[in-house]
Amino acid sequence: MVGELAGNYSTVVLMFGFAMAAMAPALVISRMISPRKKSNPVKFLPMECGQVPTGEGRTHFMMQYYPYILMFVVFDVMAIFLYAWGSVLLEVPKIATLPMLGFLAIMFGAMAFALYQSGRRRIW
């Protein structure tokens, strides 16, 4: 049963594999027919608009927008949970929508609080 359900998705994997098998030769052919010269000492350095690069490539990055990533972890799961409700909405009784609206109200409150906190730049 579970295997059958998972087996339906095998064509997606087949498509994934076919695209890989069809497109990887393009890189190989390109590598074979294109010129390869080691003429310049800075040729293989990272691109930095003509300057000789300084420092690390993987630099520090700003945490200014980190709260949004934290919010994403919570509310993405909420959005998928709503699909479990939405796809059976025509079959469940109408009274079953009320607890869902309560859930949405709690989530709206949480989201408003999180957005307010993410707007306070000095605590991040």
Binding site for other proteins (CB under 8 A): 5, 8-9, 11-20, 22-24, 26-27, 29-31, 33-37, 43-49, 53, 57-59, 61, 65, 68-69, 71-72, 75-76, 79-80, 82-83, 86-91, 94, 97, 104, 108, 111, 115
Residue 7 CB, shortest distance to other proteins, in Å, is: 10
Torsion sign, CA atoms 98, 99, 103, 109:
positive
Which lies closer to other proteins via its Cβ, residue 61 or residue 122? Answer: 61
List the structure tokens of 11. Answer: 């064509």
Contact between 58 and 50 (Cβ < 8 Å): no
Torsion sign, CA atoms 71, 74, 76, 78:
negative
Which lies closer to other proteins via its Cβ, residue 53 or residue 99? Answer: 53
Residue 99 CB, shortest distance to other proteins, in Å, is: 14
Residue 110 CB, shortest distance to other proteins, in Å, is: 13
Neighbours of 82 (CB within 10 A): 14
Residue 102 CB, shortest distance to other proteins, in Å, is: 14
Which residue carries 């579970």 as its tokens? 2
Contact between 35 and 43 (Cβ < 8 Å): no
